[in-house]
Chain A
């Protein structure tokens, strides 16, 4: 066999192999494209359903209460119900794309795909913690603000801000722990902030509040006759 014939044979064989590979791959690609297309449709329907449910459940109002809406507005992002709907759309669609990709049978991709699906519940848990952390921060900071104003305590906004910050930091640290991101860093940061705050408060009360503490203890244990305050008019 001449060299030329040998070349032609190998070329034909290679071409046949490529054609065979393409013939083998093409249906998979088509299945993948179909999955991606169906996935897009499902994700789109999911987004529409979720958007309606969130609107009916007045999720934007809840988000407003939690203070999340203000944060989103500052960041020029859409309302929280729209954001969550879009998020679910992308999560659903990406999931379908990955399922489609797994059909292609590309080596090594399977492991990443299963990792992604394993990560999803943690992502949702972290988002849940963030959101309810914001809700709790908003509620308790407002409660502290109102209580401080009505009790005529000094610096009500500072008290309120401190409580809000502490709860948000706490929620963030829990959320990041759930995601497995910088667990130690966040934990250490939280410990430092909390410790510093407590030390600061202890010093502030210890040094600045001596008289207040004395008066409180006297009222509590000595039972002195209570002096009527100027504004203690019986409202009823």
Chain B
């Protein structure tokens, strides 16, 4: 059913010309002319090098780019490869670009890729972000091989990161999703991942594509659905994550809607699952489990602290309807502490996150407003986290992340208590 609505006639014709394939690589784009050529080249090189006997297709799902992204994808697919000069495909390797309807939305792009993968009966598929400038051909091997060879259903990435990168994932999305769904998936909101045809069809059949979660944040919901559906998970170290900062990548509220919003939303769908889980379990990891750059944090943005202090004061009436008086009181006291001595303890942060999740469930105010109201508090935690790890070694920083995760797990009964309170 999904194919009928999302795949255009021209795209269907192109897919029919391709015929059945073994591998589908999806590249969702929107005005990514600066980087997409390099990414497609790396994907092709990876496929030729590691999967020369597989029938493959690269599918570019574009949200209506106006900077010639689609032309660049097509050009990259027929240009000479710089990465691999002495390898050629033994089977077919196609590259198709299509524009999906409804404007740019990562979820719709994913739906297009899933529908195409199902139609082409691909055994394994991968999605690669068009702004992954650090991509190497080896990423294809690391992501796809566990699915193609070992029958894993979902492979999420593990990235090498700078200390100051991916703070929302490290301080909230990973620890909270791990505590709730009891699986230690380091990147619950992956921008590069691989999945089996079985999981692709399972997820495509979900009734989410007409909802907001189907447009933004479908990636994290895919991971949660895979956990809930009992699919085989693994994670694979791919390398350093380096991206071009564009307008949207610095937009904290948008990032929180994509990740925290969908995580909170999923709690209602999967209450029987997460409420019954206790201790988290590791999932098979290929390569390093984490790799944090040892360099000290160059600048700790003072604005994070200032926006936290100002946010707590300005949105107090909103926070009153979300947080308990005790938590709000502690936050207000923390906001009076000078910058040098500022602390946002793990316990307080976990309580804040759980109270927000419960308020989201009870819809005490507009749910989008709840997510927006969390942004200033996250800034405070991000600042405290950077201060705490300014000169920490990678191992020390990892210990700090682990301690936060354990606090989330220990405090899970508090969320259940809040959840079951009368609305």
Do the two chains bind?
A: yes
Given A142-B318, A146-B373, A157-B314, are A235 and B252 also a contact pair (CB < 8 Å)? yes
**Quick check: which of B148-156, B243-251, B387-395 contacts chain A, the rest being far away?**
B243-251
A90 to chain B, nearest CB (A): 30
Does B227 count as interface, using CB distance less than 8 angstroms? Answer: no
Given A145-B318, A234-B249, are A139 and B366 also a contact pair (CB < 8 Å)? yes
Does A152 count as interface, using CB distance less than 8 angstroms? Answer: yes
User: A235 touching B365 by the CB < 8 A rule?
Assistant: no
State the CA gap A61–B189 with chains docked (Å).
34
User: A146 touching B250 by the CB < 8 A rule?
Assistant: no
Specify which chain B residues have a CB less than 8 angstroms from the CB of A58 in the assembled complex: 423
Chain A residues 3 to 62 lying within 8 A of chain B, measured CB to CB, are: 58, 61
Specify which chain A residues have a CB less than 8 angstroms from the CB of B252 in the assembled complex: 150, 235
User: A231 touching B259 by the CB < 8 A rule?
Assistant: no
State the CA gap A139–B321 with chains docked (Å).
13
Does A108 count as interface, using CB distance less than 8 angstroms? Answer: no
Specify which chain A residues have a CB less than 8 angstroms from the CB of B364 in the assembled complex: 61
Does A74 count as interface, using CB distance less than 8 angstroms? Answer: no
Given A234-B166, A236-B169, are A149 and B304 also a contact pair (CB < 8 Å)? no
Does B311 count as interface, using CB distance less than 8 angstroms? Answer: yes
Given A234-B166, A236-B168, are A149 and B249 also a contact pair (CB < 8 Å)? no
Q: Which residue of the partner chain B has the closest CB to A233?
A: B164
B204 to chain A, nearest CB (A): 24
User: A149 touching B315 by the CB < 8 A rule?
Assistant: yes
Does A223 count as interface, using CB distance less than 8 angstroms? Answer: no
A59-93: CB near B (< 8 Å → 1, else 0) gives 00100110000000000000000000000000000
B374-397: CB near A (< 8 Å → 1, else 0) gives 011011001000000000000000
A136-178: CB near B (< 8 Å → 1, else 0) gives 0001001101110110100011000000000000000000000
User: A152 touching B255 by the CB < 8 A rule?
Assistant: no
Does A224 count as interface, using CB distance less than 8 angstroms? Answer: no
User: B189 touching A236 by the CB < 8 A rule?
Assistant: yes
The listed residue with most A CB atoms (<10 A of its CB), out of B252, B259, B423, is B252
Does B165 count as interface, using CB distance less than 8 angstroms? Answer: yes
User: A230 touching B299 by the CB < 8 A rule?
Assistant: yes
A223 to chain B, nearest CB (A): 12
User: B166 touching A235 by the CB < 8 A rule?
Assistant: yes
State the CA gap A143–B373 with chains docked (Å).
10
State the CA gap A152–B375 with chains docked (Å).
12
User: A152 touching B307 by the CB < 8 A rule?
Assistant: yes
A-B pairs under 8 A by CB, number: 82
B381-423: CB near A (< 8 Å → 1, else 0) gives 0100000000000000000000000000000000000000001
Does B369 count as interface, using CB distance less than 8 angstroms? Answer: yes
State the CA gap A107–B420 with chains docked (Å).
62
Specify which chain A residues have a CB less than 8 angstroms from the CB of B253 in the assembled complex: 150
Q: Which residue of the partner chain B has the closest CB to A65?
A: B365
Q: Which residue of the partner chain A has the closest CB to B191?
A: A236
Does B167 count as interface, using CB distance less than 8 angstroms? Answer: yes
User: A149 touching B255 by the CB < 8 A rule?
Assistant: no
Which listed residue (B168, B307, B314, B373) contacts A231, Cβ 8 A? B307
Interface size grouping (class) on chain B: 35 or more
Given A149-B310, A149-B376, are A236 and B249 also a contact pair (CB < 8 Å)? yes
Q: Which residue of the partner chain B has the closest CB to A226?
A: B247
State the CA gap A230–B165 with chains docked (Å).
13
User: A234 touching B369 by the CB < 8 A rule?
Assistant: no
Which listed residue (B168, B301, B369) contacts A146, Cβ 8 A? B369
State the CA gap A61–B167 with chains docked (Å).
35
B292-319: CB near A (< 8 Å → 1, else 0) gives 0000000101111001001100110010
Does B266 count as interface, using CB distance less than 8 angstroms? Answer: no
B127 to chain A, nearest CB (A): 15
User: A235 touching B255 by the CB < 8 A rule?
Assistant: yes
Given A58-B423, A142-B366, A229-B250, are A156 and B255 also a contact pair (CB < 8 Å)? no
User: A145 touching B245 by the CB < 8 A rule?
Assistant: no
Specify which chain A residues have a CB less than 8 angstroms from the CB of B259 in the assembled complex: 236
Does B275 count as interface, using CB distance less than 8 angstroms? Answer: no
Given A232-B245, A234-B165, are A156 and B366 also a contact pair (CB < 8 Å)? no
Q: Which residue of the partner chain A has the closest CB to B173?
A: A236
B192 to chain A, nearest CB (A): 12
Specify which chain B residues have a CB less than 8 angstroms from the CB of A157 in the assembled complex: 314
Specify which chain B residues have a CB less than 8 angstroms from the CB of A229 in the assembled complex: 250, 303
User: A146 touching B372 by the CB < 8 A rule?
Assistant: yes
Q: Which residue of the partner chain A has the closest CB to B244?
A: A234
20 residue pairs bridging A and B, Cβ less than 8 Å apart: A58-B423, A145-B318, A146-B315, A147-B372, A149-B307, A149-B315, A150-B252, A150-B253, A150-B311, A152-B307, A229-B303, A230-B302, A231-B307, A233-B164, A233-B301, A234-B165, A235-B168, A235-B252, A236-B258, A236-B259
If A143-B366, A145-B318, A236-B169 are given as contacts, then 7 extra A-B residue pairs at C-beta distance below 8 Å, sorted by A number, are A143-B369, A149-B376, A156-B315, A230-B303, A232-B250, A234-B249, A236-B166
Q: List 4 A-B pairs, minimum CB-CB distance, nearest first.
A: A235-B168, A232-B250, A146-B372, A231-B301
**Which residues of A come within 8 Å of B, CB atoms?**
58, 61, 64-65, 139, 142-143, 145-147, 149-150, 152, 156-157, 228-236
